[in-house]
Amino acid sequence: MIDDRETELIVGCAQMASVLDPMQNLERCVSVAQEASRRGVQLLIFPESASSRSDDPHVPPLGEPLDGGFVADLASAVSDLAMTVIVGVTESGSADLPHNTLVALRGGRIISVYRKMHLYDAAGLRESDAISSGDGPVVTFEVDGFRVGMMTCYDIRFPEIARLLASDGADVLAVPTSWVRGPMKELHWTTFCQARAIENTVYVAGAAQTGGMRIGRSMIVAPDGIAEASAGTDTGLVVSRISRDRLHRVREAFPVLRQRRFSIVGTPHPAGEISAAGYPA
């Protein structure tokens, strides 16, 4: 019998400089997926807005339904690869504004969907002018013996989502991002990735947009807070091997998930309903 501590997972984070046209981005994503497959990657994470990106606040990214266009074509293109792919897209649908959505693909089909809950209405920008916020649920899914949860960019500033995913058994937090440049923003990003890993004893895999207004800095952080692999500002693929044994060792040394004395309700309040003091506004 094989001890589950021997289980490992090869994770890849694609760092991209996506453009507005989904078809151009699709070609790049397929190329990266093929490279990742040759390197043995089992979980490949693309950034937020991988399907369509605009650095002009007056030009929104192009939205498409999840059952067609970029998502359907990518699912088909990677269907024969032995990997799970997470990708950030702009999802059009029934809402007045599109969703900023993460989709997990495997075997040619969608296995999980997450719509960004916390929109980047900060530092002079208003994502909510162009995007509808999601309301969950926050869920995990399995990839070769590891539980994976998804969250998007600005979500990482809100520790409740990471804790909900850890409480649901997540071993890995996939965090596609399109982190905007600004004073101390690189420090914020790296600090949040390490903090969410340490406080939840999980791996954090952040796949980033780069170029223009975006900082890059994709990274894979171990549950003890050590960045096992990271990128600067160039496009490319960051790869790391994560292990069940390391999760066990860190969780035995710091059993914080067992020791916590507060629970978090998984149903979100409407955006803006909670005041700074933590009570309904």
What residues are annotated to the active site? 48, 116, 153
Round to whole Å and give the CA distance between 23 and 231.
Answer: 25
Beta strands in the chain (DSSP E): 8-15, 43-45, 84-91, 99-106, 109-115, 121-122, 125-126, 140-143, 146-150, 172-177, 203-208, 210-211, 214-215, 219-221, 227-230, 236-243
User: Own/partner pairs for 72-77, CB < 8 Å, 24+ apart?
Assistant: 73/26, 74/26, 74/29, 74/30, 74/105, 75/105, 75/108, 75/109, 75/110, 76/108, 77/26, 77/29, 77/30, 77/33
Provide the residue type at 215 as one letter: I
